């Protein structure tokens, strides 16, 4: 799992160090109108200098601290924006102002005590309600129930959000200062649970977050009684994967797209997927599966002692896998269905015609099969030395270019994809569509 080591500025500690005189000033009496007048006069310009991209609709002067030895002072303000989150502005007499969101400002101190610089303006009374634009920008479907500030880097702000009605939560990475118009990332807390990071989700329990797998397993209805479970990660295509080990010894990868279950993959077929299963003995399952595919391949008249396999995406009820054989150099693509479907194996040489590409078998291992197809068409002089799949015709047949080992020009062959029957062959001397060396 990725490492997320991030040097976070100690925002909450900075806020905690604000002197009591600043934070306690008007706690009981509410907000003094003089403080609001001073805030509206001074805070908008300071916020703009700090990079806050909003129109200030309300503000208050909180207080000022003096460091007599250093002959410096820091003034504190709270601002409410026309949209999005509000901020605490820290304006030193020497240096540039900085800002912290009201979520950070309201987060309790490390010892559990309330924040010493909370936001109090009416517009900032519920900062989590101002998170909708940020979550929408991060494409997170979540109504916030709890929020907390984590910290900042020079360019980013990190917040944790726990969602209503579920155990789900997100780490939100936004700009610093926060601006929903700039790039926002919302990452599921499950990713941080499994990573080596100084950022963790603490508003909800990890075990509670993992209960989401129970619902996916129930929808899959594949007979798995969960013994152990884990979050695996997110693929480059955006799919989320979970793993579950079952009490019967089997295990599965569960693929989730857009929050919905889409596929359950047996661990024996997931060895090349997201690092493979780790909660079950996939090696034993793979050995058993090798034996099954060996029997199915031989039933399809393809004599292959399967040594390894890799699944292709397949429709429900279909099992399509590439097969490598220990007893022959050329493998194939097995297309296996239900008990009433006849098993089929497509040799790797012609697999592209059917829409598959082998990775275990070297191309030259299957050239003899294509050579035999040429001879059936009466082209007796060519021993195939290279092949290239060109594409499909409007009527659905496949075009295949071949080169000949004698160096003479080869052919473009037309195949029927369903049966892999060679229909005809046109010499490269008669067409401009050939691209292989020796055919041009």
CB atoms within 10 A of CB 3: 9
Backbone angles phi, psi at 308, to 5 degrees: -165, 165
Q: How confident is the model at residue 101 (pLDDT cuts 50, 70, 90)?
A: very high
Which pair of tokens denotes residue 243? 């793993």
pLDDT of 339 reads 66
Backbone angles phi, psi at 118, to 5 degrees: -75, 155
pLDDT of 282 reads 67
Q: What is the mean pLDDT of the chain?
A: 88
pLDDT of 242 reads 95
Mean pLDDT of all residues in 405-411: 92
Question: DSSP string of 348-417?
Answer: TTTGGGGT---SSS-GGGGHHHHHHHHHHTT-TTPPEEEEEEEEE-TTS-EEEEEEETTSS--EEEEEET
Which pair of tokens denotes residue 408? 């003479």
**Element holding 196 (H helix, E strand):** strand 196-197
Q: How confident is the model at residue 29 (pLDDT cuts 50, 70, 90)?
A: very low
Mean pLDDT of all residues in 71-93: 94
CA-based nearest residue to 253, from 272, 315, 218, 263? 263
CA-based nearest residue to 299, from 270, 341, 263, 347? 341
Q: How confident is the model at residue 69 (pLDDT cuts 50, 70, 90)?
A: confident
pLDDT of 235 reads 86
Q: How confident is the model at residue 163 (pLDDT cuts 50, 70, 90)?
A: very high
CA-based nearest residue to 352, from 309, 398, 412, 297? 398
Mean pLDDT of all residues in 320-327: 93
* Rounded Cα distance, 8 and 11, in Å: 8
Is the pLDDT reported for residue 32 higher than 70? yes
**Lowest-pLDDT range of 35-39, 101-105, 351-355:** 351-355
* Rounded Cα distance, 407 and 188, in Å: 58
pLDDT of 156 reads 94
With a CB cutoff of 8 Å and minimum separation 6, the contacts of 206 are 193
Q: How confident is the model at residue 31 (pLDDT cuts 50, 70, 90)?
A: confident
What residue spans define the domains of the chain? 8-123, 129-207, 211-280, 284-361, 367-430
Which 3 state secondary structure label does DSSP give 319? strand
pLDDT of 38 reads 96
pLDDT of 319 reads 87
CB atoms within 10 A of CB 280: 23
* Rounded Cα distance, 128 and 130, in Å: 5
* Residue 429: DSSP 8-state: G
- Polymer length in residues for the chain: 440
Q: What are 203-223's pLDDT values in tens digits?
A: 999 899 999 999 999 999 999
Is the pLDDT reported for residue 351 higher than 80? yes
**Element holding 166 (H helix, E strand):** none
Backbone angles phi, psi at 49, to 5 degrees: -60, -35
CB atoms within 10 A of CB 59: 27
Q: What are 133-146's pLDDT values in tens digits?
A: 999 999 998 999 99
Q: Alpha carbon of 67 to those of 10, 94, 311: distances in Å? A: 20, 12, 68
With a CB cutoff of 8 Å and minimum separation 6, the contacts of 246 are 223, 224, 225, 226, 227, 252, 280
Is the pLDDT reported for residue 25 higher than 70? no
Mean pLDDT of all residues in 340-368: 89
Is the pLDDT reported for residue 258 higher than 90? no
**Element holding 273 (H helix, E strand):** none
**Of 2 and 269, more confident:** 269
Q: What are 269-310's pLDDT values in tens digits?
A: 887 788 888 898 766 777 888 898 999 999 999 999 999 888
* Rounded Cα distance, 373 and 394, in Å: 23
Mean pLDDT of all residues in 328-344: 86
pLDDT of 22 reads 54
Q: Looking at the DSSP assignment, which residues form a beta bridge with residue 171? A: 160, 187
pLDDT of 18 reads 54
Is the pLDDT reported for residue 436 higher than 80? yes
Gyration radius from the chain CA atoms: 32
Is the pLDDT reported for residue 2 higher than 50? no
Mean pLDDT of all residues in 129-158: 93
Q: How confident is the model at residue 28 (pLDDT cuts 50, 70, 90)?
A: very low
CA-based nearest residue to 232, from 267, 197, 204, 199? 267
Mean pLDDT of all residues in 117-138: 93
Is the pLDDT reported for residue 11 higher than 70? no
pLDDT of 3 reads 45
CB atoms within 10 A of CB 28: 6
pLDDT of 384 reads 95
* Rounded Cα distance, 114 and 108, in Å: 5
* Rounded Cα distance, 402 and 405, in Å: 10
Is the pLDDT reported for residue 318 higher than 50? yes
Q: How confident is the model at residue 404 (pLDDT cuts 50, 70, 90)?
A: very high
pLDDT of 82 reads 93
pLDDT of 13 reads 46
Q: How confident is the model at residue 198 (pLDDT cuts 50, 70, 90)?
A: confident
* Rounded Cα distance, 230 and 278, in Å: 9
Token pair 């099992």 is found at 319
Is the pLDDT reported for residue 248 higher than 70? yes
Is the pLDDT reported for residue 26 higher than 50? no
Contact (Cβ atoms closer than 8 angstroms) between residue 427 and residue 414:
no
* Rounded Cα distance, 368 and 326, in Å: 19
């Amino acid at each position: 799992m990725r490492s997320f080591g991030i040097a976070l500025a100690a925002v909450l500690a900075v806020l905690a160090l604000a002197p009591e005189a600043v934070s306690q000033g008007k706690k009981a009496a509410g907000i003094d109108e003089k403080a609001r007048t001073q805030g509206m006069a001074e805070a908008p310009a300071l916020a703009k200098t700090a990079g806050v991209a909003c129109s200030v609709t309300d503000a208050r002067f909180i207080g000022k601290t003096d460091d007599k030895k250093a002959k410096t002072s820091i003034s504190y303000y709270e601002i409410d924006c026309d949209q999005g989150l509000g901020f605490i502005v820290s304006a030193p007499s020497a240096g540039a102002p900085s800002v912290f969101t009201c979520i950070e400002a309201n987060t309790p101190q490390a010892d559990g005590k309330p924040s010493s610089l909370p936001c109090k303006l009416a517009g900032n009374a519920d900062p989590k309600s101002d998170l909708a634009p940020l979550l929408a920008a991060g494409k997170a479907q979540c109504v916030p129930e709890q929020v907390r500030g984590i910290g900042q880097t020079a360019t980013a702000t990190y917040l944790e959000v726990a969602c209503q009605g579920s155990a789900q939560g997100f780490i939100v990475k936004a700009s610093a200062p926060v601006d929903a118009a700039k790039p926002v990332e919302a990452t599921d807390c499950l990713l941080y649970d499994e990573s080596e990071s100084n950022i963790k989700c603490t508003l909800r329990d990890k075990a509670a977050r993992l209960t989401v797998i129970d619902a996916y397993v129930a929808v899959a209805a594949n007979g798995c009684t969960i013994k152990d479970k884990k979050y695996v990660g997110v693929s480059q295509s955006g799919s989320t994967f979970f793993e579950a080990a079952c009490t019967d010894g089997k295990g599965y990868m569960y693929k989730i797209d857009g929050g919905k279950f889409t596929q359950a993959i047996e661990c024996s077929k997931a060895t090349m997927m997201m690092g493979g299963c780790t909660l079950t003995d996939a090696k034993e399952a793979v050995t058993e599966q090798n034996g099954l595919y060996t029997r199915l391949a031989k039933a399809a008249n393809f004599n292959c002692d399967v040594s390894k396999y890799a699944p292709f995406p397949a429709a429900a009820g279909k099992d399509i896998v590439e097969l490598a054989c220990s007893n022959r150099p050329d493998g194939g693509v097995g297309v296996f269905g239900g008990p009433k479907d006849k098993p089929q194996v497509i040799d790797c040489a012609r697999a592209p015609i059917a829409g598959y590409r082998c990775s275990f078998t070297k191309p030259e291992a299957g050239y003899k099969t294509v050579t035999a197809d040429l001879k059936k068409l009466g082209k007796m002089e060519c021993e195939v030395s290279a092949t290239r799949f060109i594409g499909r015709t409007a009527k659905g047949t496949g075009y295949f270019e071949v080169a000949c080992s004698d160096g003479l020009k080869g052919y473009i062959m037309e195949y029927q994809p369903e049966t892999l029957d060679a229909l005809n062959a046109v010499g490269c001397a008669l067409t401009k569509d050939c691209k292989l060396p020796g055919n041009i």
